[in-house]
Amino acid sequence: MRRLVIGFVGFVIAFVTSYGAKAEEAAAKITPIQISIWNPVQLAPEDRDVWGFRLNLLYGKNRDVFGLDLGLVNSSRSFQGIQVGFANTGLGMSLPPFSLSYVYFTSSGIQIGSLNYFSGDFDGIQVAGIVNTAHRVRGIQISCFGNKADDMNGLQIGVFNHAKTMTGVQIGLINTITDSPVSFLPIVNAHF
């Protein structure tokens, strides 16, 4: 019985010690403020999460962003909050001179930019001067030119709107829903 108690106490000490080390390691990967000129010329390295405010003067890249993200080119694997920039990417974009690997994460909030690209799930509103694209959208895509989602639940407004599957409405000149009995309709298309 004594060996069992000693073994259990040893297990609890090892568990608590390893949990504390992991918590410290996770905290070391977070920064409240990020200012970037061009990655890697930025306050915190790209493998850090930003919990607060990030300003990308030209191009900034971090793992995840939670809060306000402003800049010319904003790049992260996911974000929650407000992202405003010329190009907002979810690390799936290949736009020279940027070579970003494809990932699949979930983001939520508001994206405002000329180009909004997210390779994962997006919950919220994407507003673009040129194009919005995401894998799965639950929300609204509004663009002066085009919107694209593989799986769309909500509303698309733009000149060109495309979804492979959709539960919602498209408003635009060309509206296509691949997996729909009526795959193309001008002005308004819907599938529920």
Which pTM does this prediction carry?
A: 0.80
CB of 47 closer than 8 Å to CB of 63 = yes
Per-residue confidence (pLDDT) for residue 26, from 0 to 100: 57
Handedness of CA 96, 101, 142, 191 (dihedral sign): positive
Domains of the chain, by residue range, sit at: 30-144
Per-residue confidence (pLDDT) for residue 8, from 0 to 100: 53
91 — pLDDT class (breaks 50, 70, 90): low
Query: What is the spatial distance between Cα 124 and Cα 135, in angstroms, rounded to a whole number?
Result: 13
In the structure, how many helices (H) and strands (E) does the chain have? 1, 9
Backbone angles phi, psi at 27, to 5 degrees: -65, -30
Q: How many CB atoms lie within 10 A of CB 103?
A: 14
